[in-house]
Chains A and B, each alone.
Chain A
């Protein structure tokens, strides 16, 4: 299908934001995952639960739906994603709440990603 979004193929698959090339992920680092869980509880959990739809979608299986790069870009650059990315726009129309910018650093976002990897059922 023709790409009419104005985004590159990379962006369509991996989102728009600070991550512009594929991440190299090793074995799941449980120490990082635990930091990620804390950050998730402080900055994300008012809207996201692991297993139920809340203000936003459930997150346990997010890696089944999105690439790691998309997840980090979505966490760090939600405003632009909500305005430009066709997948994010669809979700905004469905949930009617713009995901807020939560001042998450790259390190924290990677920790949260590690947390998502550790809880993913297909890990």
Chain B
């Protein structure tokens, strides 16, 4: 009893203190509670949006749920992935072929969802490889990389792959100018010998198959980013450039001298006409086109030998330069298609050009000279307005559904919200740290979903528990539904989350694939039933036609393999149920394991070096008897006469 009274007294004495602490925290904890609720997705429930974020230097594409920030898929694109066998299996290796040989990695920057009438349609997503110029197409039925096209006459394929309004084309511009065709020249001959290219890659509306339709030769600047027009500006595409100084060393200083560089505005419908009229020259080139054959689901490579090139000198009215301060990075077209916003990286204002003014200026020939046959329009004749005080180092702009624009400012680490038409800044919010791109859900389309903005940051520093010198990369989710932006969530990302695309989940979930059907398996080495499982030896090539089903392989005992043999394991997963992959791994395998989806055949090779017994097993936990899903290979010396034998359960 006495004890209880003491506690009571203590509680009364502490009450004011609790009250003070509680009071001090109450407003922020309320905010935190609110933010937590906004991003909380109950276990078992789905996020409202998918977000596809580039994996940066990981070379892959990652898939997150928004608003939860949960990562639920990494799609291997430009880098080998031993977790699934992508880029190692006989079925996928060809995807990474290039004119420079097999390349197992790259730096992926800008995902771009395919569009119909200026809206993301959920069919495909494209992404660029920066280092060895390529564009990949990922099929959103099964979230697998379906095609990779190399871009010739390009280096640092940065300004890509932005889509036109109906994905007629994805575009690509070259960051580094080069001698075209490439050759051994004095680097100091830059101004004389180096050129840029702007590429238009046609997309087949049914199959999605890409073709490098034509390239436009451009002055030797650095082409940075791009966007296609929409609505009234459909038929045009815009490309930023910097280094109009044409420096070839210490660009940091030497490419930052001019007050204005250029946005190249390309009338691609006009360019198409010039190609049809025979104005394009066929130039020898060397590039690879890799794609997954639809019937066999095996990747093939085709070596391409020519590219059609348009020279602006022969094609009046096809391309114009819009002077733009200063070393502009992003070029973003608003939902109405009228405004072209340039992220003037080193500018003190954010210049916004008007498409309708640009057309008038072209009609009225308001030119201020030309470069290599490309007329330069007068700044005042194309400019619609300038956003004052847009933050330091403005890079990229996206839009919401209410007439506001959001610009990322790298140097001042903030997102700046401003109004289209009045150019007035209405809100700003700090981000942590050094934001590059930002992404509003659907913010590059004709009808943004709005609601959330994702800040894609370059530096993470102290935002998470430290993990030594190497830290996670990170993104931040910001609520843009109200007048004031609100920070909701930090979440870690893979590689560098360079740019992203957001799409309402139900656009993708209304039509998606759960399994590959056994009857559609066109792999030439598929085993359609356990009865057909076998081992065939042709000289020193041994082919194992193996099936996997819960919870055994057939065959699971194999003898007669010899040192010096090259063994192909063609493993077919016979399951037809959602989410029942099987793995396959042999002791001492030098490449990767296999992960085989239901109805799929995947092939891995193995060259045993020592006689002995080699166990193999299923590496994806598949059933109660997963641990039993295993087998033995017997490897005999090269000259032995052990007979080829195989079986299961015998």
- A interface residues, Cβ below 8 angstroms from B: 41-43, 45-47, 54-55, 96-98, 100-104
Contact = CB atoms under 8 A, between A and B. Distances in A.
Interface stretch (B14-22, B71-79, B569-577): B569-577
A104 B575 CA distance: 11
Residue of A43, A54, A96, A103 with most chain B CB atoms under a 10 A cut-off: A103
Given A41-B531, A45-B529, A45-B531, A100 B517 contact: no
B554 interface: yes
Interface string B576-611: 110010000000000000000000000000000000
B625 interface: yes
A interface secondary structure, majority? loop
B515 interface: yes
Contacts of B209: none
Q: From DSSP, what is the main secondary structure of chain B's interface residues?
A: loop
B623 A97 contact: yes
B136 to A, nearest CB: 30
A87 B313 CA distance: 81
Interface stretch (B218-226, B344-352, B435-443, B544-552): B544-552
Contacts of A55: 550-552
Contact of B623 (A54, A98, A103, A104): A98
Interface size range on B against A = 20 to 34
A24 B547 CA distance: 36
23 contacts: A41-B530, A42-B529, A43-B529, A43-B574, A43-B576, A46-B530, A47-B549, A54-B649, A55-B551, A96-B625, A97-B551, A97-B623, A100-B549, A100-B575, A100-B576, A100-B577, A101-B576, A102-B577, A103-B515, A103-B517, A103-B518, A103-B577, A104-B576
Contacts of A97: 550-551, 623-625
A92 to B, nearest CB: 10
B409 to A, nearest CB: 52
- A-B residue pairs, 7 tightest by C-beta: A46-B549, A103-B576, A41-B529, A101-B577, A102-B576, A46-B530, A42-B529
Given A42-B574, A46-B574, A103-B515, A96 B550 contact: no
B528 interface: yes
* Residue from the set A55, A98, A100 with the largest chain B CB neighbour count within 10 Å: A100
A47 B554 CA distance: 11
Interface in B508-565: 515, 517-519, 528-532, 547, 549-552, 554
Contacts of B519: 42
A91 B547 CA distance: 25
A80 to B, nearest CB: 13
Contact of B580 (A42, A96, A100): A100
Contacts of A104: 576
A102 B552 contact: no
A46 B554 CA distance: 8
Contacts of B554: 46
A93 B625 CA distance: 13
A96 B624 contact: yes
A17 to B, nearest CB: 15
Contacts of A45: 529-531
Contacts of B624: 96-97
A42 B528 contact: yes
A70 to B, nearest CB: 20
A42 B518 CA distance: 8
Contacts of A43: 518, 529, 574, 576
A45 B577 CA distance: 16
A102 B529 CA distance: 13
Nearest to B578: A101
Given A97-B551, A102-B576, 9 more contacts: A41-B529, A43-B518, A43-B529, A43-B574, A45-B529, A98-B550, A102-B575, A103-B517, A104-B576
Nearest to B649: A54
Contacts of B649: 54
A46 B552 contact: yes
Contacts of A103: 515, 517-518, 576-577
B173 to A, nearest CB: 46
B648 to A, nearest CB: 9
Given A100-B575, A101-B577, A46 B547 contact: yes
Interface in B437-481: none
A102 B518 CA distance: 9
A46 B623 CA distance: 15
A103 B514 CA distance: 11
A103 B528 CA distance: 15
Contacts of A42: 518-519, 528-529, 574
A46 to B, nearest CB: 4
A47 to B, nearest CB: 7
B332 to A, nearest CB: 45
A81 B580 CA distance: 19
A103 B518 CA distance: 9
Contacts of B550: 47, 55, 97-98, 100
Contacts of B549: 46-47, 100
Contacts of A41: 528-532
A38 to B, nearest CB: 8
Contacts of B517: 103
Interface string B56-69: 00000000000000
Contacts of B577: 100-103
Contacts of B547: 46
Nearest to B521: A42
A75 B577 CA distance: 13
B525 to A, nearest CB: 16
Nearest to B576: A103
Nearest to B515: A103
Contacts of A102: 575-577
Contacts of B529: 41-43, 45-46
A74 to B, nearest CB: 15
B512 to A, nearest CB: 15
